[in-house]
Structures are given as structure tokens and as C-alpha cells.
Structure 1
Amino acid sequence: MKIAIYGAGAIGGLMGAYLARAGEEVTLIARGAHLAAMKQNGLVVQHGGDSFTVRPQATDDPASAGIQDFVIIALKAQSVPPLADKLAPMFGPDTAVVMAVNGVPWWYFHGVGGALEGRRLASVDPGDAQWRHIGPERIIGCVVYPAAEIVEPGILKHVEGDRFTLGEPTGEKSDRVTKFSRALIAAGLKAPVRTDIRTEMWVKLWGNVAFNPLTALTGATLDRLCTEPGTRAVAKAMMLEAEAVANALGVKMPVDIERRIDGAAAIGAHKTSMLQDFERGRPIELDAIVGAVAELGRLVSVPTPAIDMIYALTRQKAAVAGLV
């Protein structure tokens, strides 16, 4: 199959490398020093004490990739809308787009039926750019669990995890999602197909909506945030609000909230991605992870005062630092 990775950084590069090693026709779309290194030396993946190198096509021009069977978008959520119109040269009539992006997806209300069917989310898709240029009918949902990082241009470290949960917005087990799942499995990754991908998204988002901004504000690692009574209480208040929003949208959390927080604490002295982005001076995924939950709350008339407050504080801190 022809598979393009738009945003071949840590996670996108990881997916592309494993797929290329398994024999798929992969194009990595990246930029800067990372792209230059991949063109010259290939992409190196380090995992445990082992490593492997792949040499797929690498470019900064989507048009040069040609029509694809699958396009994987693996960018920060806020980076996708300004680039959505650049994807068209890779789209044929049957091209599917796998959104390996954190937070509430812009296509959330595609295929749900009812009064909110087709509703747009301004917080994650301002101006409906993705809805217009990508189209929700192309989408395969993807919840990303692995951790990876670029240790230097052209070299990425696969830290842990190997699961990418997939699902159609409509809930069907279509030929295309099954085909993509099999490709990932053949590449050595886990890729279960779920008939309710939104529930899986909410379980991951449930922690992120609280832990990410709170660690960014405090500088605390997960273990400290989740065991200190004061910050644990704030996280729990935010998560209870998020759970109420999810429930109003027909999603029931499969895990008890105290167990969810305890699970995060057990990870140890881990810095969330948002805290890492703050420390490295990178733009943060605040709207997709926090602001979008507040927007969903307004849609279903569920108040989110704790989320709103932490969102405002984190946004101000990010604005002062020039990261939004």
C-alpha cells in the first residue's frame, strides 16, 4: 500500500518506520534538519538495545508523494488546520486519512446521528478548515499510546508502548480500517479496531484534560501532582466535569476516577507532553485537550468551571511565553 505520514516526527516517524520495514510504500513528510537527515541517512529507530534503519521517500512537498491509499496525520492538533489545504494532491477517491492527533477530534460529530450530527468544533477546527479540505468521510480515528522522541535529526527513540487503537467514526468495521489495522499488526504494532472509538478517546482525554495543564502550570511530575492532596483535588474536580460532559454525550467511563488518578501517580516522575512543550518553548495543544472539552460542555449544557479556570490560567501562561 501507499502510505504517507504527514508530520514524520516522533510518533509519525515511528509509524512510518515500522510500516516501511514491513514492506509498505511509505512517504515521510517532514521539514528542516530532521528531513535533511532522513534524506541523507534514512530514519533510525532505537528501541531497547536494538535499532533499525529504513530509507523510505522523504519530502517536504505533499504533491510529490502522489495519490495515497492512506494518509496518516501525526501533528500537534493546532498545526493541522493551517495545513489542511496542502493535502489534496495525495487524495484519490478512496484515500483514507488516519488522524493520529491528541485531544478532541474535529470530526467528533460525524456519524453520531441525532441533533448534534455534523456539528463543528471551533476550538479544534477554526474556520472548518479540516472539515472542508479533508472531509470527515475520509477519517479513521486513532488513539495513540506509544511514547517516542527524536533524539537527534533522523534518529528517534521508541520509548515504550506499541498500541494504536483504530475506529471508524460511524462504528463500522469497514474494509479500510481492517486493512490498515492488519498493516500495522504485520509491522509489529498492536492495532485493535473498536466499534466505539470515542469511548477510547475519552479515556485517554480524561486524564490529559487535567494532568497536562496542571503540570504545565505547576511544573510538577505526575506522581507529585496526583499524590499531593491539593493538586489531586483540582485534578479530580476537572475530571468529574469532563466525565459529566462525556456522559451527556453518551459515553460512560469504564474506569473509576480514583483508580484513573492512582494509575497516573503510579507512572512516577513523568513530565506530561504539555509540560515538556512548555520547557522546550514549543506551542502547546491546549485547545484540543482542554478548550474543546469546555466547548463540548457548552454544547450539552454541562458546566465546567474548574476546567474553564485552569484553561484560562494555562492559556495566559502560554500567551506570555509566546506558545499559543
Structure 2
Amino acid sequence: MANLPIVQYEKKILETVEQNQVVVIIGETGSGKSTQLSQMLHRKGYTDSGIVAVTQPRRVAAVSVSRRVAQELGVKLGEEVGYAIRFEDRTSESTKIKYLTDGVLLRESLSNPELNQYSVIILDEAHERSLNTDILLGLMKRLVKRRASNLKVLITSATLDGEKVSKFFLDCPLLTVPGKLFPVEIFYSKERPTSYIESSLKTALDIHVREPEGDVLIFMTGQDDIEKLVSKLEDKVRSLAEGSCMDAIILPLHGSLPPEMQVRVFNPPPPNCRRFIVATNIAETSLTVDGVVYVIDSGYVKQRQYNPATGMYSLDVVQIS
């Protein structure tokens, strides 16, 4: 079993779930809530009467977390543990634990409003507060009344205002689980860069040439920026003198990549080789990429904004703070 903080709280969590229909769990980053909660409920026997469903806000998270759980349980992905995302369903009749995007669960509720196939529904990363998540919260409130005897609902997050959600579900219990954190040194740019792509490129190369081994995670605003940086980084790494530094693998990570391309970031690099993972903020929650020692944040993000003058929404690149 994984040595994660949430494992120490297993008894308390299971007792609370047994006594209450809805439980809110605030699990700090690195607590292990995404991978361990479903396994705890499986061991306790909740999968005897139905499937344990775990929603994720992003496809890459649903795929990667289900892979991890299948690996920990020593089963083949798609059998006891599976996932369902848009255009891909890797589950079977023997599936006990199912990871799926919130959009897929919403679509399932259209054809089966009672969601009878599930004994437990876990809404993970609920702080993302997408339209889908908000609708699901309302749906769960209605569903727990209809299925009072045979459905448990867990709402989990790292940063959610748990008390508000607890009040929404008629003052249901709220549990807090500490996370697993490592010492972090933060270095700020002394001046605002004229181009955050060029600045991130220079920082990445400085790390590659001067710093000891360890993978680098670089946050960019979207697919266009990622593709530009990956191309520039490949050119620069190729132009370095042979033997001057270790080898490098450069991997993009964003929601538009096919699943088989996304999962490459979870494969360990060959010996004496550094990985550069250039990602959107998809890699900020749910995903734990082993081996990352350095993180470069461009300081910008794509945000949907409303323009009252035109009456339209636009996706703009804005500073994160």
C-alpha cells in the first residue's frame, strides 16, 4: 500500500462514510486522496453492491489516476479498474472502480437519472468549479434524497471552501487530511520579461547546463505556446556541444493530446537523461509526475473573460497574479 498521509486516516474516513450519506474531504496536495479513497472503499466492500465512481475535471487526470490505481492493485487496466472519457471507454462488466470526467457522468445521468450502477460517487477536485461540477453538486443533492439507502457521496478537494459545501449538503461532516510536502525554494525573476516564452526557454537551458539531474516542469498558457517552446527547446538542446550536459527528452502535455501521448510523461527517462515537460495548468492538480525537481512558471494563464462592450466572451492571456 502506498505510504501516503491519507492512509493514516483510513479508519476515521470509513467510519464517517458509514454513518453519513455525504462527506466532504479536504485533502491537501500530496495527501493521496485521488488514488487511495477509491481503494479504501473497495477494501471495505462498497464495490460488492455497485461501482465506485471517481470524477476528474480533466481527461488526462482520469486516465493517469486510473492507471496508477490499477498498478497499485496489481490488476489490468480496463478490468477491475477502468476509466471513461469522451470517445474512449475502458471499462468492462468486472469493473469495480471507475474514473471518469465530470462530463461523462453528466451524460450517463441523462440516460440513467438514478445512476443505479454506482454505490459510491466521489467528486474529486471539486474546487475547479466548472459548470459540469456545479451541476453535478446539485444533481448529487437531489440523488442522495432519492437513493437514501444505497448511495454514498464524497466531495474532495485540496482548496475547496469545505464549510460552504457542507452547508449545501445540510451540514454534512467535513474531514481534513494533511498533505505530503517537500521543501521548496522559490526564485523570482528580477525584472518583467518582454517574452515569457523566451524567458522560460533561457531559464530551462540554464537549469539543463548548470544544475544537477532532475526533470523540469514548465507551465505555459496553452497548446500554441507549448508547441512554440517545445520546438525552440529542441533546437537549442540539439545545438549544445556533445558531452557538455546530459541528454534531454522534451514532452508536451495539454488536453488536446491523444491519451497515448499524454501518458508518456509518466514513463521514467533513460539513465543520464533529463525530461522537460511543457504543460498547461493541467499538471497543477490531480497529476503527480515523478522525478520533477525544477518548476518554471511563466506567470501567465489563459482565462475566459467577458467583454460587456461586445457582449462576447474571449480567451485572453492574463497574469496569474
> TM-score w.r.t. structure 2 length?
0.30
* Higher CA-based Rg: 2
> TM-score w.r.t. structure 1 length?
0.30
Is the helix fraction higher in 1 or 2? Answer: 1
RCO higher in structure (CA 8 A, sep ≥6): 2
Is the strand fraction higher in 1 or 2? Answer: 2
